[in-house]
Structure 1
């Protein structure tokens, strides 16, 4: 499934923020968090209406979905690229991080 034009425009607009987000996330022990917080936020709340909230999401579900994105079985232009670079350990760490966040924020 291709991203709607507004989602793609949002992603492009956030691209310069990736470096800042990664620098912000370096204080965390979660690898690759900086890439995720650009769209999904440090608190797990999407930074735009087109990016889903991840706070409180069950880690098993997130692991399964990230593995599907990584393999290409689940289609998303953005997430296929992001997930392709993730190791199993990084996927587990990211899933545990977001599961541990309060979705009520």
Structure 2
């Protein structure tokens, strides 16, 4: 039991030492994403998903999967392969921070 508590304490301490994502940098990286996913995270193209308010962890995983080839899409693979891991974290945090509302389809 003592080892479990110690392990949890170490894990929690390490989580707090992870640097926060840089939303300003994420917005800069997002410049290349906005053609398909929109400046405000609402996609102007029907075949592109909306990213505003999406879960940050989902966006990081999706981008990492495109980058490593686990997930396949010609455009996304090209874009993601040129991103550093920090850029992926930043752009995911930026899109996740955009408030969104659900409404009727146009």
**Same-fold status (TM-score > 0.5):** yes
> How far off is 1:29 after superposition?
3.3
The answer to whether the aligner puts 1:29 opposite 2:57 as a matched pair is no
Q: Matched residues in 2 for 1:83 and 1:77: separation? A: 10
Distance 1:81 1:103 in 2: 28
Q: Which runs of 4+ in 1 moved over 4 A?
A: none
Structure 2 portions without partners, runs of 5+:
1-23
- Bigger CA radius of gyration: 2
The count of residues paired between Structure 1 and Structure 2 equals 78
* Unaligned stretches of 5+ residues in structure 1: 1-27
Match for residue 92 of structure 1 among 89, 94, 105: 89
Alignment match of 2:100 (pick from 90, 98, 103):
103
TM-score (norm 2): 0.69
Query: How big is each residue's C-alpha offset from its partner over 1:11-39, in whole Å with a ceiling of 9 and x where there is no partner?
Result: xxxxxxxxxxxxxxxxx532421111111
- Superposed CA RMSD: 1.3
